[in-house]
Amino acid sequence: MTADGAAMLSSLGGVCLMASLFGRNLIHLHRPDADERDDDLNGEFWRRHRNMDNILLNIQLSLPNHFRLPAGVDNANVVFTNMNIHTSTICLHQAAIFKAEKNRMPHSVSAESKIRCITAAAQIASIMRMVCHLDLSGVSDDPQPIVGRVKAHVGVCFR
């Protein structure tokens, strides 16, 4: 997706986009190649890691105004997509922390990923504070209320 394409993204499209990115993240973490070289910052694992991280950052920076919060707080899919961006960042960087510590890489590698995890978790907490006091019973036609989605989402983040 390009920055120009993001402007035409529907709220359901945002959910689909994040599902796709979670799938890419899963493949990155659990289907490694034979020549991963995860002990080398120039190896395939770290190349994919940087690529996925750049994709997440670019998506976050190129979201159109109707996808940003608090403007899109009345749309459950917008809230869910924003939370998923941060959740995906946490998943990606927790794996990086594990690989960096397992392979005794420079402390700065794991420290940077820890900072990214903490920042993403703070963003999720901010979103939760933004929506927790809203009466969301009539906000969306979506069959699963936003509060239920958010609670399920946070449970995944902190397992």
Give residue-wise pLDDT tens across range 34-52: 778 888 899 889 999 999 9
Specify the 3-state DSSP secondary structure of 102: helix
Peptide bond into 70 cis (omega under 30): yes
Q: Using alpha carbons only, what angle is made at residue 116 by residues 115 and 119, rounded to the nearest 5 degrees?
A: 85
Q: How far apart are CA 93 and CA 90, in angstroms?
A: 5
Q: How far apart are CA 47 and CA 96, in angstroms?
A: 12
Whole-prediction pTM value?
A: 0.80
Domain ranges of the chain: 3-157
Q: How far apart are CA 72 and CA 11, in angstroms?
A: 9
Q: What is the pLDDT of residues 49-92, one digit of tens each?
A: 999 999 999 999 988 888 899 998 888 889 989 999 999 999 99
Q: How far apart are CA 10 and CA 35, in angstroms?
A: 39
138: amino acid identity, one letter: G
Q: How far apart are CA 150 and CA 76, in angstroms?
A: 9
**Average pLDDT of span 97-118:** 96
Q: Percent of the chain, pLDDT > 90?
A: 43
Q: How far apart are CA 124 and CA 144, in angstroms?
A: 19
> Is 6 a residue whose pLDDT tops 90?
no
The answer to whether the CB of 66 falls within 8 A of the CB of 78 is yes
The answer to whether the CB of 50 falls within 8 A of the CB of 112 is no
Q: How far apart are CA 75 and CA 156, in angstroms?
A: 21
Going by C-beta distance under 8 Å and a sequence separation of 6 or more, which residues neighbour residue 103?
38, 39
